[in-house]
Amino acid sequence: MEVLWAPWRMEYVSSDTTKGECIFCPCGDRGQDEKRLVLCMGDLSIVLMNRFPYTNGHLLVAPLRHVSTLAALLPEEKLDLITMVERSIGVLKEVMNPEGFNVGLNLGKAAGAGVEEHIHFHVVPRWSGDTNYMTVFGEVRVIPEHIQATYQKLVRFFKES
């Protein structure tokens, strides 16, 4: 039997999520930035390290305003978020020299959002050979719908917009 040791996850598993504090909302005490792993706070967005990363350097970029959807963002917030994602990538390239990146949003609990009430981007630096355990141990990737079926569902909406 293979055993995966991840003792750092115990803090997450046993944490009290009823406190009502959002990790992305700015607190009044900027002296807590290091403890909160805040790397940068702009006028409209914040960058912090993911406390439970997929890889070293896994960053989270969120608007300062507490919103849960892309549609709820103001145009200037959208621009600021993408600019901050771009800046985060530049810093990670300079400091950690990754070979690539995964950048994305998990919208909704079913999509894996851990904090679904405050939208945020994941910026994950990647290196060849750092694949996740499902692929390494199980050699499994589950895709329940044929790619052409998904394409047909989506293509008409992109043509209309």
Tokens of residue 130, six digits? 């750092």
| Burial of residue 84 (number of CB atoms within 10 Å: 0-12, 13-18, 19+) | buried
Do residues 11 and 50 make contact, with C-beta atoms less than 8 angstroms apart? no
With a CB cutoff of 8 Å and minimum separation 6, the contacts of 17 are: none
CA–CA distance, 44 with 74 (Å, rounded to integer) = 10
* Catalytic member of 58, 120, 122, 146: 120
Q: Is 118 a catalytic residue?
A: no
Measured on CA atoms in the order 55, 53, 37, 11, is the torsion positive or negative? Answer: negative
- Beta strand ranges found along the chain (DSSP E): 38-41, 45-49, 59-63, 100-105, 121-126
SS3 61: strand
Residue given tokens 């103001």 in the structure block:
74
Catalytic residues, which ones? 120
